[in-house]
Structure 1
Amino acid sequence: MSQEICILPFFGTGHLLPCFQLCNHLTSSNFHVNLLISSTLSTSVPSSLYQHPLFQLTLIPSPPPSPEHHYELAEGLQNILSNYHRPTLPVCAIVDAMMSWSINIFQKFKIPTVAFFTAGACSASMELAVWKAQPFDLKPGEIRFLPGLPDEMAVTYSDIKRRNHNPPPHPPPQHGFPPPPFGPGKKGPPKDGEEPPWLNETQEATALLINTCDDLERPFLNYIASYVGKPVYGVGPLLPEQYWKTSGSVLYDSDFRWNRLSSVTEKEVIQWLDSKPHGSVLYVSFGTEVGPTVEEYAELAEALESCGKPFIWVIQSGSGRPGPPGFGLVEESGSSKPEGYFPHGLDERVGSRGMIIRGWAPQLLILSHKSTGGFLSHCGWNSTLEAIGRGIPVLAWPIRGDQHYDAKLVVSYLKVGYMVSEDLSKDVGKDDIVMGIKRLMGDEEVKKNVEVLSDKFRNGFPRSSVDALHDFKDYVNKRFV
């Protein structure tokens, strides 16, 4: 009889997608997987998961995300565990690191927990190393090496100066329950000299699963494991199964991701890309939750107009406002409309050279097309993985949190991209962007580096991650059964 594991994901898109793939891998390892998910997210679960006999979905009744959301989830989770549907409780629970509040609930039922990081190992290890080194007294031109990490990741004065902008709304606690977290911990991103929240809040977890692999982040996985003194498994990149089976060909997002509102169809995107020369298109997207300021968006529009390169620009409703889409709505003529930046008139001025997509874009399709030659990205971890896996160099424009460390990994350690600006303590301007685009799209060395790295993923899911999942299965069977 297969052992049962329950999984509790965070509700952001960048957390759900890797979680679904982890479910696939675990069921393939003969675990019975019970995915515990908010009832508001039931339609996001891919139909392919339901087809596996070892997969089960349990909905936690809860309202849409709000200050009450976490409280309702906690209450619902406790009720589910109190009235569990099977003869025995799960042997363990895999908990997204941003849901670490739930560890106390699982402990009440004597269910051991494993922490799941949907971000990479670099960001977590850099937070830890910076906290240990306290390099906040750096002067211009100085650097501080971080013992145990690659020299390329040394902290610079520019790293210390950089700012986080567009922070998410942070509603007050309700019913004594902690507010939604910013990053891997509940307290928000660590301030200078402050212990990384993830370190304390995963202290009761018996092991860590991280969405990465040895080929990308071996030194960082080793660094975390040596410090926390518990098993750390690199089980990624947790990308769709189709991603690993379509190397060298276009990948259609609609085949495995739920449909969302968009101003274009995949067919229209394909036809536009087919009309452009090989490797000529710059893809611009900041994901669904963060982005530059309104003023920086205007600078970006001018840069794309003047650079002369074909481009696809994905822009969300409410761009430029603090917080993710859906917050900050205003009433106008009796209807709700998100305030934000939009480059009105740009499409007419650039003509067929540019494609502006409002809403959702088929990112894997765009990154896997031969005409795409660069990616201007916020360096969210999923976007970073998808670009590297398809051999696309990155122009990094990190906005907050782990994105800054992902960008440093891309630029300094992996050497597969450039920073959009060397000084992110101030607004990014048109000249910075234009120069960054020219460097990225014209640098053959960077293109070669990312092609060499992407070759490691052309034969399917990384061997090291297959081994890590096997080791994790042995760990569960020996430790919990």
Structure 2
Amino acid sequence: MKTVLCCNDAARPHVLVIPFPAQGHMIPLLDLTHNLITSNPTLTITILTTPKNKPLVSTLLSSHPSIQTLILPFPSHPSLPPGIENAKDMPLSIRPIMLSLSNLHQPLTNWFRSHPSPPRFIISDMFCGWTQPLASELGIQRLVFSPSGAFAYSTMCFLWKETPKRENEQDQNEVVSFHRLPDSPEYPWWQVSPLFRSYLEGDLDSEKLRDWFLGNIASWGLVLNSFAELEKPYFEFLRKELGHDRVWAVGPLLPEDAKEERGGSSSVSVNDVVSWLDEKEDLKVVYVCFGSMAILSKDQTEAIQTALAKSGVHFIWSTKEAVNGNQETDRNERGLVIRGWAPQVVILRHRAVGAFLTHCGWNSVMESVVAGVPMLAWPMTADQYTDATLLVDELKVAKKVCEGENTVPDSDVLSRVLAESVSGNGAEVRRALQLKTAALDAVREGGSSDRDLRCLMERLRFPLQ
């Protein structure tokens, strides 16, 4: 996205960017920040971070030295062990980290009051809803950034406004109907947002969470990592639900350089991965990865391992768990197992990759869409169930192979699906290529996401228009 806007000294907005310290949330918000400063180099941007999390923004800062950092100590919380500052350190710690971060309200107020040219806007993650009352107190505008898609964000708006309850508190399969959303989707209780399922009416912390999500709905604007053609009905729903048109789809938010490091350490170099893929036929490799948070059980790991062996497919498997007792890289002619971070964007865009077995996290979805790679869906938690619905039932670029973070797939069934996924047949392949074209068109000059970015920049300059 190469849009470049100019502005005079009187119209240089100062934006405070507040990420949520989870990899899947930080990466797209930093990509958005890159796009904003690239579109308008005179923009003043300050990013809030903590000492331990500053390395996560180092790549952005090296590319854009004009971006300032505000480093504040990570506040403590009774439910967080000492030293925990992000979700990577403590999986499934979203709720206590949200509660802990809210204690930055007063330090930020003090910083704002003492700043010679304070921000006129806050752009903060959807898990930082506590910044809405902060912005109101400071008399500035706050924009929510959603690293999830418009469908998933719509379900969150519905849940926290409607607070649906179960008739039988013990029944995890009781169905929740999202009756105001397009096509009235339904999900069993166990597939509903874990944050919402943790809500207890009258509990102080739970009521804080609800107030923050309602604060998201009340915010001045909403920015999503998606694009119009992908989720049009849900963008229409959100504009109606929020009561304004300040809803901007600016995705796919991806790096210009596919080899840019976006995760962490790996047991294999990008060049080694590419060299291994270069030896394979087009569209014959299955890529397997379940994101930065999911930890597979021994039974799940063994089921995938057995299925890959039975299928006979070539594969790359990015995993945190040991495979065959190997804690590092395990490679042979047919498979490459990577412990730790994998160069996912590079892998998905390689001509040899023909399918992606994924947990359906939104970043992975967007990266796969841009690469034109069909998906095999195994949603495990959070927004992954709505993402799978979008991919499988609406867009038809994926097949569901399993669901649930504790479910163990049948290795025989999974092996057949893996083999079929790289057989060269299937409507998913054609539709995936069509979506790839739509995604690339969206971010080209004049495309829908490019236009939304232009509109967003104009509204930052002239917010009352």
Q: TM-score if structure 2 supplies the norm length? A: 0.79
Could you list the runs of 5+ residues in structure 1 that have no partner in the other structure?
Answer: 188-196, 243-250, 320-340
What is the distance in 1 between the residues matched to 2:335 and 2:428?
24
The equivalent of 1:312 in structure 2 is: 316
Amino acid at match of 1:252: K
The equivalent of 1:375 in structure 2 is: 356
After superposition, where does 1:15-414 map in structure 2 within 5 Å? 15-27=25-37, 28-29=39-40, 30-52=42-64, 54-62=66-74, 64-65=84-85, 73-76=101-104, 78-84=106-112, 86-128=115-157, 146=179, 149=182, 151=183, 155=185, 159-160=187-188, 163=191, 178=205, 186=209, 199-230=213-244, 231-242=246-257, 251-254=258-261, 257=262, 260-316=264-320, 319=321, 342-344=323-325, 351-414=332-395
Amino acid at match of 1:236: G
Contact in 2 for aligned 1:133/1:146 (Cα 8 Å): no
Note the aligned Cα RMSD (angstroms): 3.8
The equivalent of 1:324 in structure 2 is: none
What is the CA-CA distance between 1:105 and the residue it aligns to? 3.0
What is the distance in 2 between the residues matched to 1:410 and 1:3?
38
What is the distance in 2 between the residues matched to 1:144 and 1:476?
37
Name which of structure 1's ranges 449-458 and 69-78 shifts more when overlaid on structure 2. Answer: 69-78
What is the CA-CA distance between 1:111 and the residue it aligns to? 2.7
Amino acid at match of 1:287: G
Could you list the runs of 5+ residues in structure 2 that have no partner in the other structure?
Answer: 1-8, 75-82, 87-92, 168-172
What is the CA-CA distance between 1:37 and the residue it aligns to? 1.5
What is the CA-CA distance between 1:400 and the residue it aligns to? 0.3
Amino acid at match of 2:429: K
Contact in 2 for aligned 1:161/1:425 (Cα 8 Å): no
Contact in 2 for aligned 1:5/1:93 (Cα 8 Å): yes
The one-character-per-residue Cα deviations of 1:209-262 (angstroms, maximum 9, x if unpaired) are 1111102111111111111213211121211133xxxxxxxx3234xx36x321
Pair 1:449-2:431 in alignment: yes
What is the distance in 1 between the residues matched to 2:163 and 2:108?
43
The equivalent of 1:337 in structure 2 is: none
Amino acid at match of 2:325: H
Q: TM-score if structure 1 supplies the norm length? A: 0.76
Figure out how many residues of one structure are paired with residues of the other and give that number.
421
What is the CA-CA distance between 1:46 and the residue it aligns to? 3.9
What is the CA-CA distance between 1:51 and the residue it aligns to? 4.4
The equivalent of 1:434 in structure 2 is: 415
Amino acid at match of 1:373: G
The equivalent of 1:11 in structure 2 is: 21
The equivalent of 2:451 in structure 1 is: 467
What is the CA-CA distance between 1:375 and the residue it aligns to? 0.3
The equivalent of 2:89 in structure 1 is: none
What is the distance in 1 between the residues matched to 2:71 and 2:280?
45
What is the distance in 1 between the residues matched to 2:273 and 2:314?
13
Residue 148 and residue 64 in structure 1: after superposition, are their counterparts in 2 closer, same or farther (change >3 A)? closer
What is the distance in 2 between the residues matched to 1:287 and 1:422?
15
What is the distance in 1 between the residues matched to 2:51 and 2:163?
43
What is the CA-CA distance between 1:314 and the residue it aligns to? 0.8
Amino acid at match of 1:87: P
What is the distance in 1 between the residues matched to 2:413 and 2:405?
11
The equivalent of 1:479 in structure 2 is: 463
What is the distance in 2 between the residues matched to 1:445 and 1:359?
33
What is the distance in 2 between the residues matched to 1:303 and 1:470?
47
What is the distance in 2 between the residues matched to 1:345 and 1:252?
26
